[in-house]
């Protein structure tokens, strides 16, 4: 992939790095990533909240055909993670299809999300991975 917008990557950094979500002052619901208005009621009165870093995998999708820059991660697992106060969509890392199941506990980790070609900007942020017993 090339042509990522550097300003957009920069503006979203705090949300990606610290798992910061939008909390609606009118209906109280939380959404991630935060947007300019509440996706539930449309209110523009929003506060920022840090989300919990442990959750459960509610559902997932396995992407076998991926762009060349993601090939070393293939297949890529996209998960819907329930954090209690909100649900987030995230890549599930450190795991293959045989390692995951609905309901399993997952934890937030800081990873490279993507990169803009071989010379462009690196995009960092939170992903989730299975919590493993020692």
Partner 1 sequence: MPQPRPETATGIHGWGVYVPRFRIKMEYIAREWGWSDSQWKALAMIEKAVAGPDEDSTTMGLEAAAYALKRAGVDPGDVGAVFFGTESKPYAVKPSATIIAEALGVTPVTMASDLEFACRAASEGLRASLGLVASGMIKYAIVIGSDTAQANPGDVLEFTASSGAAAYVVGPSSGSAAVFEGSYTYVTDTPDFWRREGSPYPRHGEGFTGEPAYFAHIIGAVRGLMDNLGFKPSDFKYAVFHQPNGRFPLKVGEMLGFKPEQLKAGIVTPLIGNTYNGSALIGLARILDNAAPGDRVLVAPFGSGAGSDAYSIIVTDAIEEKRGKAPKVDELVSKKIMIDYSTYAKFRNMIKIVRE
Least Cα distance to 131 among 59, 57, 21 occurs for 57
The CB density around residue 104, as the number of other CB atoms within 10 Å, is: 16
For the window 21-60, what string marks contact with Zn ion as x by the rule CB under 5 A?
---x-xx----------x-xx-x-----------------
49 binds, options Zn ion, partner 1, none, Cβ within 5 to 8 A by partner type: none
Q: Report yes or no: 112 and 103 within 8 Å, Cβ to Cβ.
A: no
Dist CA 66 CA 87 (whole Å): 24
Q: Which is nearer to partner 1, 18 or 29 (CB)?
A: 18
Per CB under 8 A, 118 contacts partner 1: yes
Q: Is 36 in the site for partner 1 (CB under 8 A)?
A: no
Quick one: CA dihedral 30, 36, 40, 42, positive or negative?
positive
- Site membership for partner 1, residue 28 (CB under 8 A): no
Identify residues 78-117 at the interface with partner 1 (CB under 8 A): 91, 93-94, 109-113, 117
Residues in the chain: 134
Q: Would you tell me which residues interact with Zn ion (CB under 5 A)? A: 24, 26-27, 38, 40-41, 43
């Amino acid at each position: 992939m090339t042509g990522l917008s550097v300003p957009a990557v920069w503006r979203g950094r705090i949300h990606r790095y610290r798992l910061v979500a939008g909390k609606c002052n009118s209906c109280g619901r939380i959404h991630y990533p935060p947007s300019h208005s509440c996706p539930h009621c449309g209110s523009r009165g929003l506060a920022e909240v840090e989300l919990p870093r442990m959750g459960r995998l509610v559902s997932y999708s396995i992407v076998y055909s991926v762009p060349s820059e993601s090939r070393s991660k293939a297949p890529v697992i996209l998960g819907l993670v329930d954090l209690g106060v909100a649900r987030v969509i995230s890549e599930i890392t450190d795991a293959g299809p045989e390692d995951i199941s609905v309901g399993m506990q997952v934890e937030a980790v800081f990873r490279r999300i993507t990169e803009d070609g071989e010379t462009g900007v690196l995009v960092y942020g939170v992903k989730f991975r299975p919590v493993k017993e020692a």
